[in-house]
Amino acid sequence: MTDTLGDALPRETARVREVLSQYEETSRMPGGQGCAFAIHNIKASLAAADKAMISGDLVAMIRAYEDLKGIE
């Protein structure tokens, strides 16, 4: 079975939102202040993905998907 972008991108955004919550939790711990830059970048990537999905811009959706796949 082949995944479509319409299936894969929302699944990837959900995964990255979980990663974001882990970074946010870590940032509240002692010594976790270094997470701020990563949190900012992850939020920007998620916003770009949301915008691409809402607009239906296929090229932007592909870019967003590839960007989100790189977030760990």
Q: Report the distance separating Cα 63 and Cα 58, nearest Å.
A: 9
The reported pLDDT for the residue numbered 72 is 95
Q: How many domains does the chain have?
A: 1
Give residue 22's domain range. 5-69
Question: End-to-end CA distance of the chain, in Å?
Answer: 25
Place of tokens 């691409």: 52
The reported pLDDT for the residue numbered 1 is 65
pTM: 0.91
Q: Please, what are the averages of pLDDT over each run of 10 residues along the chain (72 residues)?
A: 91 98 93 90 98 97 98 96
